[in-house]
Amino acid sequence: MGGYRSLGGAMATVGLSSAGARTQVGRQSPELHSGGGGAHSQPVSRPFRFRRITAAGDLLIAAAAVALTVALRPAVDVALAVSAMAVGWPLVLTARTGRADRLFGAKSTYRDVLQALAVVVAVVAVAAAALSIPLLGRSFLAAVAVLAGGSIAVRLAVRYRLRRLRMRGRATRRTLLVGPAAAVTASLERFSRDGERPLAVVAACIEDDGTAPPAAVPVVGTFGGAAPGHDDAVRNEELVHAVRQAAQRVRARTVCIAPGSEFTGDRLRALSWMLGDLGIDLVTDLGLSDVASHRMGLGSMGSSVLVHVKQARPTGWRRAAKLATDRVLAGLILFALLPLLLTIGLGVRLTDRGPAIYRQVRVGRDGLFFTMFKFRTMYVDADLRRAELLDAADGDGPMFKMREDPRITRIGRVLRKYSLDELPQLINVLRGEMSLVGPRPALPEEVATYDGTARRRLAAIPGMTGLWQVSGRSNLSWGETVRLDLRYVDNWSYAEDLQLLGRTARAVVRSTGAY
C-alpha cells in the first residue's frame, strides 16, 4: 500500500474531481493552512510516556528489593538468587506488560504483574533447587513482596496520572474523525462524556449524508456517494486518498472511523495500510456506549474480526462474594458507628418532634418493594407539602430535587451535606434489601414513569452509593443519573465496587453536589 505515497496530484485531478464522488478535500478555513487559530494551530499535547515511566519504575523496584535483601543479611547464595530474580524481574515484566496499547494503556494491572511474578519465582526456585540453595526465608519472601507490591503500585500511580492528564485534555493524540455527518456528531457527543479522553478530535472528514456537519470541530473534507457504475477500485483509492490528505492537513496522529462509514471490509484494510505507512494509528468507533473494557473480547471467524460483549451481572461465586462483603462490612460499620448513630438520632428528636428514623417505600431489584430507613431530615409534614413545591423543583425528570427545600430542618441540612442521613440504610444492607454499592433506590412513582431503558436500573440491588454518588449526586440531571446507573449495572465487577467505596469517602468529605 506504499503506492499511496505517490498518488499526489494525479489522484486530485483524476478521481477527486469526479461528479460521482463529489470529493472536496480543502473545505477547511484558511487558519488550517496558516496556523492562525484553527485545528492545525492547536497546541500539540505533550505525550505522557507511560510505558517508559513504568519500565523505569520496575528498575527502581528491583533495586529496592536487592537493597532490602542486603539489609537483611541473608546467606551469600540466597542473596545471589534474589539478585538474579531482581535482574530478571524488569525483563519479564517488560515482555509481559510492555506491549500495553499506546493509545489506551494497560488494563489488567494485577493479573499481568502476578503472572510475571509466578514466572520469575518458578525459574529461580527451579535453579535454586538444582543448586541446593534454600530460598524460603524472610529475605526471599520480603523481596517477592517488594517486587509484586512495588510494581503494582507503580502501575496504579502511572495509570492514575495518565487518567488525570487525559481528563484535563492533556496526554492526548490529535485525531481526525471520519464518517457520515450524523454519526460523527453522535461520536463527538459520546467522546465528550465523563471519563478520560485519550483522543483529541481536531477535525472531521465527512461522508455527506444530507445532515448538517458537526459544529464542534472544523470539517476538512467531504465526499458523497459513488455514482452508478463507478469503478470500486477507483472509488477505494479516492476515499483513502481523501482521508490521507485530511489527516496530513491537520497533522493527525490517529484516524477514527465513526459508525456507518463507507470504510468497511477491504476498503478499511486499505486505509489501515496507508495510515500505517504514514505512522498514523487507526481506531474504529463501534457506537457502543458505557461498555467496560473487561466485558469486551476480541476474536475472529473466517476473515472477520468479531467483538464479543460479555454479560457482567453477578452470578455464582461473584454474587456470593458481593453479598458476603455487603453484610460483613455493614455489620462492622454499624457496630463501629453505634455511638454516632445514637447521637444523631437524639439530635433529630430534639430538633423537631417526630421519629428519628424516616421510613419510605422504595423499589428494589426486579421491581420488589421494600422499606428504606433514613434519619429524618425534614419536618414531619414534609410529604403533605410536596405537591405545593412541584413547580419549584430543580430536577428535569421523575426525581424530585430542590436546592433550597423549605421542608428540611437545620440538623437535616448538615446530615444531608455529609450523607449521614443515609447511615440507617446499613440495616437494609444487612437484611439483603440493599447493597453497599448499586443504583440509586427509586420511589414507586418514579418507576411508574420509567421507559424500557430506565427499567434496566432495576436489574441490580439498589445501593447506598454508586457512580451517581461519586459523580455529582444531586447536581446530575435525570438522564445522567440513569446513564451512570446503567453503566454500573451493565459493567459490574467486584473490583469496581471496592473502588467506588473508596471514591465515596472522598465525595462525602467534600460534600460535592449534596443538598
Q: What is the DSSP string of 66-90?
A: HHHHHHH---HHHHHHHHHHHHHHH
- The pLDDT tens digits for 369-378 are 999 999 998 8
User: Who's near 48: CB < 8 A, 6+ residues apart?
Assistant: 161, 162, 165, 170, 171
Backbone angles phi, psi at 199, to 5 degrees: -110, 135
Give the angle subtended at the CA of 134 by the CAs of 133 and 137, to the nearest 5°: 140
Residue 212 lies in a domain: yes
Report residue 315's pLDDT band, with 50, 70 and 90 as the boundaries: confident
**Residue 300, burial from CB neighbour count under 10 angstroms (0-12, 13-18, 19+):** exposed
Higher pLDDT, 357 or 303: 357
Of the ranges 33-42, 344-353, 466-475, which one carries the lowest mean pLDDT score?
33-42
**How far is Cα of residue 489 from the mean position of the Cα atoms in its chain?**
14
Whether residues 30 and 56 fall in one domain: no
Closest CA to 93 of 121, 68, 67, 117: 117
pLDDT at 10: 32
- State how far the Cα of 439 lies from the Cα of 491, in Å rounded to an integer: 12
- pLDDT at residue 42 greater than cutoff 50: no
CA distances from 46 to 162, 172, 300 (A): 12, 8, 36
Q: Predicted confidence band at 14 (pLDDT cuts at 50, 70, 90)?
A: very low
Whether 209 and 185 have beta carbons less than 8 Å apart is answered as no
What is the arithmetic mean of pLDDT over 216-227? Answer: 80
Same domain, 279 and 212: yes
Identify the domain containing residue 186 by its residue range.
2-37+172-287
Domain final residue, candidates 287, 302, 327: 287
Mean pLDDT of 273-288: 90
Mean pLDDT confidence for 204-226: 84
Q: Are 27 and 220 in contact (CB under 8 A)?
A: yes
Is position 280 within any domain?
Answer: yes
Does residue 458 belong to any structural domain of this protein? yes
Residue 102's pLDDT band (boundaries 50, 70, 90)? low
Return the pLDDT at 34: 32
**Side chain identity, residue 385:** R
Residue 2 confidence class, pLDDT cut points 50, 70, 90: very low
How many C-beta atoms lie closer than 10 Å to residue 63's C-beta? 12
HSE of 270, CA atoms in CB hemisphere, 13 A: 22
Report the range of poorest mean pLDDT among 342-356, 399-413, 440-454, 475-489. 399-413
- Which pTM was predicted? 0.67
Q: Averaged over 177-190, what is the pLDDT?
A: 92
- Give the containing element (helix H, strand E) for 504: helix 494-510
pLDDT in tens, 222-267: 887 655 556 677 788 888 999 999 999 999 999 999 998 888 888 8
Q: For residue 110, tell me if it sits in a domain.
A: yes
Whether residues 89 and 141 fall in one domain: yes
Examine the domain organization and report whether 99 and 206 are in the same domain: no
* pLDDT score at 89: 84
The amino acid that residue 24 corresponds to is Q
**Dihedral over Cα of 450, 452, 453, 459: its sign:** positive
**Does residue 161 sit in the same domain as residue 177?**
no
Q: Does the residue 456 lie in any domain?
A: yes
Domain boundary among 142, 167, 192: 167
What total of structural domains would you count in the chain?
3
pLDDT at residue 143, as a whole number? 84
On whether residue 307 sits in a domain, the answer given is no
DSSP output for 413-464: HHHHHTTGGGTTHHHHHHTTS-EEESSPPBPHHHHTT--TTGGGGGGS--EE
pLDDT, average across residues 26-38: 37
The model's confidence at residue 101, banded by pLDDT at 50, 70 and 90, is: low
Per-residue pLDDT, averaged over 380-406, amounts to: 64
Element containing residue 242 per DSSP (H, E): helix 232-249
Answer yes or no: is pLDDT of 39 > 70. Answer: no
Lowest mean pLDDT across 71-75, 151-155, 358-362, 471-475: 471-475
Q: Tell me: do 224 and 322 sit in the same domain.
A: no
Residue 23 resides in a domain: yes
Query: pLDDT confidence of 302, banded at 50, 70, 90?
Result: confident
Q: How far apart are CA 511 and CA 97, in angstroms?
A: 38
**138-167 vs 76-97: helix crossing angle, rounded to 10:** 30
Task: Give the orientation angle of helix 109-130 with respect to helix 76-97, to 10 degrees.
Answer: 140
Give yes or no for residue 361 having a pLDDT over 80.
yes
Residue 103 has pLDDT above 80, yes or no: no
Q: What local confidence, expressed as pLDDT, does residue 429 receive?
A: 96
- Whether residue 103 sits in one domain with residue 221: no
Among 328, 249, 294, smallest CA distance to 501 is for: 328
Q: Determine the average pLDDT of the residues in 299-303.
A: 77
Check whether residue 214 and residue 163 sit in a common domain. Answer: no
Alpha-carbon distance of 90 to 437, in angstroms, equals: 37
Q: Alpha-carbon distance 379 to 381, whole Å? A: 6
Mean pLDDT, all residues of the chain:
79
Q: Which of 44, 83, 66, 423 is nearest to 254 (CA)?
A: 44
| 183, 109: one domain | no
Q: Which residue has the higher pLDDT, 473 or 478?
A: 478
Place of cell 483522543: 199
> Would 42 be classed as within a structural domain?
no
Q: 400 and 474 share a domain?
A: yes
Q: Which residues 6+ apart lie within 8 Å of 5 measured at CB?
A: 277
* Helix, strand, coil percent content, the chain, rounded in steps of 5: 55, 15, 35
How would residue 342 be classed by pLDDT, with cut points 50, 70 and 90? very high
Regarding whether 20 and 88 lie in a shared domain, the answer is no
**Same structural domain for residues 188 and 132?**
no
Lowest model confidence (mean pLDDT) among 82-86, 120-124, 387-391, 455-459: 387-391
% of the chain with per-residue pLDDT over 90: 26
What CATH number is attached to the domain comprising 238?
A: 3.40.50
Q: What is the mean pLDDT of residues 188-200?
A: 83
Determine the pLDDT at residue 490: 87
Q: How far, in Å, CA of 97 to CA of 107, rounded? A: 10
Helix (H, G, I), strand (E, B) or coil at 126: helix
Written as nine digits, the cell of 442 is: 427509586
Percent with pLDDT over 70 in the chain? 80
Q: 46-63, pLDDT tens digit by residue?
A: 567 777 888 888 889 888
Query: In whole angstroms, what is the distance from residue 375 CA to residue 1 CA?
Result: 69
